[in-house]
A and B are shown apart, each in its own frame.
Chain A
Amino acid sequence: MSWVQAILLARGLVRGWGGVCGAALMGAPFSQVLPQAPQGLHCSAAAHKSKWSLVPRPPESRRRPVKALALHEELFRQAPGGERDKASFVRTVQNFEQHNVHKRGHVDFIYLALRKMREYGVERDLAIYNRLLDVFPKEVFRPRNVIQRIFIHYPRQQECGIAVLEQMENHGVIPNKETEFLLIQIFGRKSYPMLKYLRMKLWLPRFKNINPFPVPQELPQDPVDLAKLGLRHMEPDLSARVTIYQMPLPRDSLGAADPTQPHIVGIQSPDQQAALAHHNPARPVFVEGPFSLWLRNKCVYYHILRADLLPPEEREVEEIPEEWNLYYPMQLDLDYARSGWDDYEFDIDEVEEGPIFAMCMTGAHDQTTLAKWIQGLQETNPALAQIPVVFRLAGSTGELLTSSSGQEEPPPPPPEGQEEDDNVQRQQQSHS
């Protein structure tokens, strides 16, 4: 080769080695350190790929104020006025393939694309993963003889394929026939990505629907809808009714989202209504909260209206009326037991807690909002007007509160300032 080519190759090698040493010292993925070398010097492009390139970028070191772009990152730069969605992602992939007929640096590009998927919102889209697998050149990496099959043929590419499948697995995407065909075309049937595909095909469908309380993938953005979903999720009684006591102000009137009028959504079942109607007005009911509920990756907070457990002497014993007719008994005890010696009860007293009368989810967690909820509840439960209501609210966020009468804070985190609002609403105040 000519002297020009020799010098360029030497420079590229030096840069490549420097990059490798730098990466080894800093622990950063190699692809970031290598600067934009001209196309002909990809001698070390596939040299030091590590399967840990899926690490989110480490924070930039202070000696390098200018952020070094990864290879091909300019392809992912947002077009002016364009938004990041599926179509633009596909267009970016097509751009890469058109500029690079020989697909140089495709492993880097695929790792980068896997990192960028979350920004484009396509991390659960099977078609996108298939399109990304399509970037691999076909038939090149298939082992052709026994020796190639023994030693992992093209290990970096196989690791990259496994990384794509692993991201699919992390997001719960089940691959399909197209993925299988692509993997066979790219890596062959006896390769590691194909093995991983077989495992995914075996295990992911087994665990796809085992959640007895499924939460939809697409959570509603509207807080009122989210509150309704959350309340229905928590309440096992299907005949419970969800009531919206207050809708939030529309967003265009104020800049911020309704500071004065948060949404209040409550739920109560007919059994709870009956229990509240029978509640002794001499005993107070407590509004406790906020407690946290996780729906997929969103945390919402709810409050409950409950009463303390009646001491044993005050509990009314239900009188079992005498049976009139043994052929048509009023009480049918269809227990699980097959005969006299079956005993499926646990030898422990279960935790007994007071009855819960209603639950609600609100935008704000202060007493005024909850007082509005109580007022709204009084419309369907007129007995609530006679019963004193005590507010036991936590301080700032208080997700870790246990509803104990002492309200202990967990010792290791620094104790937050708690406000124990013991505000007793009397009958006169409820009429305001």
Chain B
Amino acid sequence: MALVHKLLNGTYILRKCPKPSAAMCPFLGIRFADYCSSSLQKTTAPSKTSPQRKTGGGLQGHHQKEVALDITSPEEELEVSFDKAIRDEIKDHFRHLKDEIVNHWIGPEGRPLHEVLLEQAKVVWQFRGKEDLDKWIVTSDKTIGGRSEVFLKMGKNNQSALLYGTLSSEAPQDGESSQSGYCALISRIPRGSFARKRSYDWSQFNSLYLRVRGDGRPWMVNIREDTYLIQKKNQMYCYFMFTRGGPYWQEVKIPFSKFFFSNQGRIRDVQGKLLLDKISSIGFTLADKVDGPFFLEIDFIGVFTDPAHIEEFAYENSPELSPGLFK
């Protein structure tokens, strides 16, 4: 696991997710590990040069020799860095483990307890450098054969992140999808030592705070809880984020009680509130069925306690749709 990580330049393995069902609602935020950055191109570059060298060959023997050369040389290069990569990786992991054990004595996540307990506003994701962008993944409906494009880059003066692209609701001609046109920005699941999945604990807070600048399009914010169980793969809690458009920064405050439960892109009948103690990732989806370019600039994402907000959960269950709950 660790070696493959290092070989792929520290990116995650492509997980082939099952094809979404035909009744796919555009609000799908299925976790695809997709790449729109240039890191993938770097890894395929050495393999691309070998076919080029092959076509230059003349005689059969010469051709075979060239093929042999092609096969051995990348391996040799890799072998040189292989051990070192493994050693570095192991050292990193042990260092993380040591940090975790030491931090446990100081307090949760290495911060003293009084600071954590009294905290009322916390910045969870900020965009002040290139390394902050690595914590996010961008997906679009290209994975199912659509035509939308989406890219993520740092905004002006390295002070914000700009998510931009083109949405195209042209359905892919694969005979089973009738709708298409979505793009998503998903945060990576936080990892601890030895690539274990970690989760965020936001039980102290009750609202999400986003400082964004959009172009008037409605977005959807999805929060995924701890993904330990495979059955919860497509379950997430969603709510809408309406951008105003314009050159002014917009503060969006969404209380966690407003998030509704959805599975596989459909709102479910049995609704329960979002539990904040194990949050694994957050995502932004755009699927408003309007073709055209879009952009969203994000300054930072934080969570805070709104003392005036006392609502626990905004949606009641209906006895007609879920009679089992009302017996």
- At the interface, yes or no: A293 with Cβ under 8 Å from chain B? yes
- At the interface, yes or no: A122 with Cβ under 8 Å from chain B? no
- At the interface, yes or no: A140 with Cβ under 8 Å from chain B? no
**Binary interface profile of B, 10-33, with partner A (CB < 8 Å = 1, else 0)?**
000000000000110000000000
Report Cα–Cα, A206/B22, bound state, in Å: 26
What's the minimum C-beta distance from B146 to chain A, rounded to whole angstroms? 14
- CB distance B248 to A356 under 8 Å? yes
What's the minimum C-beta distance from B73 to chain A, rounded to whole angstroms? 30
**Binary interface profile of A, 333-348, with partner B (CB < 8 Å = 1, else 0)?**
0001010011111111
- CB distance A350 to B211 under 8 Å? yes
- CB distance B121 to A344 under 8 Å? yes
- At the interface, yes or no: B193 with Cβ under 8 Å from chain A? no
- CB distance A299 to B246 under 8 Å? no
**Binary interface profile of A, 177-206, with partner B (CB < 8 Å = 1, else 0)?**
000000000000000000100110011001
- At the interface, yes or no: B162 with Cβ under 8 Å from chain A? yes
**Binary interface profile of B, 275-295, with partner A (CB < 8 Å = 1, else 0)?**
000000000000001101111
Q: Which of A211, A234, A410 contacts B246 (CB 8 A)?
A: A234
Please classify the interface of chain A as helix (H, G, I), strand (E, B), loop, or mixed, using the class held by over half of its residues. Answer: loop
- Chain A interface category by residue count: 35 or more
- At the interface, yes or no: B273 with Cβ under 8 Å from chain A? no
- At the interface, yes or no: B118 with Cβ under 8 Å from chain A? yes
- CB distance B307 to A202 under 8 Å? no
Highest count of chain B CB atoms <10 Å: which of A210, A351, A400:
A351
Report Cα–Cα, A30/B236, bound state, in Å: 36
What's the minimum C-beta distance from A327 to chain B, rounded to whole angstroms? 28
- At the interface, yes or no: B43 with Cβ under 8 Å from chain A? no
Q: Which of A203, A206, A400 contacts B293 (CB 8 A)?
A: A400
Report Cα–Cα, A402/B307, bound state, in Å: 36
Closest chain A residue to B26 by CB distance? A170
Closest chain A residue to B268 by CB distance? A199
What's the minimum C-beta distance from A235 to chain B, rounded to whole angstroms? 7
- At the interface, yes or no: B199 with Cβ under 8 Å from chain A? no
- CB distance A213 to B242 under 8 Å? yes
Would you list which residues of chain B between 178 and 230 have a CB under 8 Å from chain A?
A: 178, 209, 211, 215-218
Closest chain A residue to B246 by CB distance? A234
Could you say which residues of chain B place their CB within 8 Å of the CB of A211? 218, 240, 242
Q: Which of A54, A234, A351 contacts B160 (CB 8 A)?
A: A351
Could you say which residues of chain B place their CB within 8 Å of the CB of A291? 215, 247
- CB distance B151 to A410 under 8 Å? yes
Could you say which residues of chain B place their CB within 8 Å of the CB of A198? 318, 320-321
Q: Which of B120, B240, B244 contacts A233 (CB 8 A)?
A: B244
Q: Which of B122, B242, B247 contacts A212 (CB 8 A)?
A: B242
- CB distance A55 to B171 under 8 Å? yes
Highest count of chain B CB atoms <10 Å: which of A212, A215, A306, A399:
A399
Would you list which residues of chain B between 150 and 182 have a CB under 8 Å from chain A?
A: 151, 153, 155-157, 159-160, 162, 164, 171, 173-176, 178
Q: Which of A202, A210, A402 contacts B155 (CB 8 A)?
A: A402
Would you list which residues of chain A between 240 and 265 have a CB under 8 Å from chain B?
A: none
Could you say which residues of chain B place their CB within 8 Å of the CB of A202? 318, 321
- At the interface, yes or no: B105 with Cβ under 8 Å from chain A? no
What's the minimum C-beta distance from B164 to chain A, rounded to whole angstroms? 5
What's the minimum C-beta distance from A401 to chain B, rounded to whole angstroms? 9
| Nearest 6 A/B pairs, CB to CB | A234-B246, A27-B175, A404-B156, A294-B216, A293-B245, A351-B159
30 contacts between A and B (CB under 8 A): A51-B22, A198-B320, A199-B267, A199-B321, A210-B240, A210-B242, A211-B240, A213-B242, A291-B247, A292-B293, A293-B215, A293-B216, A294-B215, A294-B216, A294-B290, A302-B246, A306-B247, A336-B307, A343-B118, A344-B120, A347-B121, A348-B126, A403-B247, A404-B156, A405-B156, A410-B153, A410-B164, A411-B153, A412-B149, A413-B149
4 additional A-B residue pairs with CB within 8 Å, beyond A203-B267, A356-B248: A27-B174, A291-B247, A341-B118, A351-B159
